[in-house]
Amino acid sequence: MNALYHGSELCEVDADGNVAIPAFLEATLPPETSPEIIVAMHQGDSCLVGYGREHLATLAERAERRRLAEEVRGEEARSHYHRMRGTFGLSERMKREGKGLRIPAAMRHLGRIDDLALFVGAGDSFEIWNPVLALESDDEHLRALAEFRLRTRGTKSKGVH
């Protein structure tokens, strides 16, 4: 069974893409699992999506089921190749090193991640948002979460919880 990611956290990202592992991710990724996390462009939103390496097989199975369903409906295979490219080609390994992660430069560019990243659990994956883009999302709950995390960001460092 794949990991299930739940929770959210706003994290600072340095110029090299280093970020502390959010607590909800650390709890889901025990040390004995693969030290690699895959990060890719999200297929439907303006964010990145991350998951453990073992999740790749699940993604391949899902893609094949969708391809077969599209074939039955007589649809062109082009969308299948776009999905496969997005899932497997527009992805990179994100190494875990102790309590930190490094978001690869190409992925930071594609996800428009600057000095802050909003990590959001999404079940069998997690999302990494530029919080400004999350504020512009069509998901009202994500917008509210981003607003809350940004508003309370400064108060945590001052000892207010």
Among the four given CATH numbers 2.40.170.20, 3.30.465.10, 3.60.15.10, 3.40.1550.20, the one describing domain 8-157: 3.40.1550.20
Say what percent of the chain tops pLDDT 90: 45
Q: Among candidates 51, 18, 41, 50, which has minimal Cα distance to 110?
A: 41
Provide the sign of the torsion angle of the four alpha carbons 58, 63, 64, 69, taken in this order: positive
- Which sequence spans correspond to the domains of the chain? 8-157
Residue 86: the pLDDT is 75
Q: How far apart are CA 67 and CA 125, in angstroms?
A: 21
Per the DSSP assignment, residues forming a β-bridge with 100 are 20, 97
Query: Long-range contact list for 53-58, CB < 8 A, 24+ apart?
Result: 53/93, 54/2, 55/2, 55/3, 55/124, 55/125, 56/88, 58/2, 58/124
**Strand segments (E) across 15-144:** 18-20, 36-41, 48-52, 91-97, 100-102, 116-121, 126-129
Q: Give per-residue pLDDT as tens, 86-118.
A: 778 888 998 887 788 999 999 999 999 999 999
Between CA 46 and CA 139 the distance in angstroms is 12
Radius of gyration of the chain (CA): 17
Residues 12-35: tens digit of each pLDDT: 999 999 999 898 888 887 665 555
Euclidean distance between CA atoms 25 and 94, whole angstroms: 13
- Mean per-residue pLDDT for 46-51? 93
**Residue 67 corresponds to which tokens in the numbers above?**
């391809």
